Amino acid sequence: MMDKQQIAERYRAIQDVICSGLEALDGGATFAEELWQRDGGGGGRTRIIQQGNVIERGGVNFSAVHGVLPAAVKQAFKVDDEQFFATGVSIVIHPYNPFVPIIHMNIRYFELNDNVRWFGGGIDLTPHYIQPEDASYFHRSLKSVCDAYSPAFYPAFKAHADRYFYIKHRQETRGIGGVFYDRLTPEKAAVPWSDIFEFSCGLGNAFVPIYSELVGRNRHKTFTEQQKQWQYLRRGRYVEFNLVYDAGTKFGLETNGRIESILMSLPPQAQWVYDFKAAPGSAEAFTLSMLRQGVDWLEQ
């Protein structure tokens, strides 16, 4: 098991690789970086890319923070220790074209002491328009990363993503899911610490190849103003999930995180339309029909 500083350095390097890959993919915009320090301990690098050829706005954040764990978080984690360390990389990309999906990734490590520590994270995809062939490619790619470490990972983490990325008040999933894991330890994973860490890095390194393929398939598709308005509605659902349910957002706010970095996941523009109904038989209606748990995307 690598120590926490070595984990942080690997994650920092993954941020660099992903930013370089996204700049090459976009072909126009570059990342602006802001270094920040957290009151209480640690800091990070917030990198924002916007108004590019493909990406309307995106963020690739790295952080390594430490300090006193707030009482509310201690209670939620059911722990007594106060001094925590957390490091990770978090990504959200909002594209211009409605046929290019929103993508999110997070890999993270949390430690209180030698007995209380874990890895978490995952990747999920939120298409504005669900295209089964793209969904199948996405899930097959994630399964390949998972299978390199354990055949049990993909089915367990896919089911976890279905449960986690669910907007209860809408009774729909945020998108087509992906893989998600939390508080992963050797006892839960049935693999050693080193494999869990390498798995998390494997997800990080898979991000650019997977998203580049999806962007390449869809970036040049033409779209109408009506389809753009639909994109804004789907972004609204994304906002609802992140502000109401997202654990990372809550943890960041409760641990006095940097607000601009925490809310970089929000799109530059979104809409809410009262009692919207998709036209029967439309691509929008098909997308809504597929926003449910338990879909076997590998067979699409």
What CATH number should be reported for the domain holding residue 217?
Answer: 3.40.1500.10
pLDDT at 68: 87
* Cα separation, 241 vs 47, whole angstroms: 22
* List 94, 104, 128, 139, catalytic entry: 104
* Cα separation, 38 vs 77, whole angstroms: 22
How many CB atoms neighbour CB 97 within 10 A? 20
pLDDT per residue as tens, the chain (300 positions): 679 999 999 999 999 999 999 999 999 999 999 999 988 899 999 999 999 999 999 999 999 999 988 777 777 777 777 889 999 999 999 999 999 999 999 999 999 888 889 999 999 999 999 999 999 999 999 999 999 999 999 999 999 999 999 999 999 999 999 999 999 999 999 999 999 999 999 999 999 999 999 999 999 999 999 999 999 999 999 999 999 998 888 878 877 777 888 888 899 999 999 999 999 999 999 999 999 999 999 987
Give the torsion through C-alpha atoms of 97, 154, 199, 38, to 10 deg.
60
Q: What is the DSSP letter of 162?
A: H
For residue 83, what are the domain limits? 4-299
Q: Looking at the 3D structure of the chain, how many domains does it have?
A: 1
Give burial (CB, 10 Å; 0-12/13-18/19+) of 150: middle
Q: No. of H helices and E strands in the chain? A: 10, 9
pLDDT at 1: 61
Task: List CB contacts of 193: < 8 A, sequence separation 6 or more.
Answer: 1, 185, 186
pLDDT above 90 covers a percentage of the chain that reads 83
pLDDT at 256: 73
Q: Is 104 a catalytic residue?
A: yes
pLDDT at 187: 96
What is the pTM (predicted TM-score) of this model? 0.94
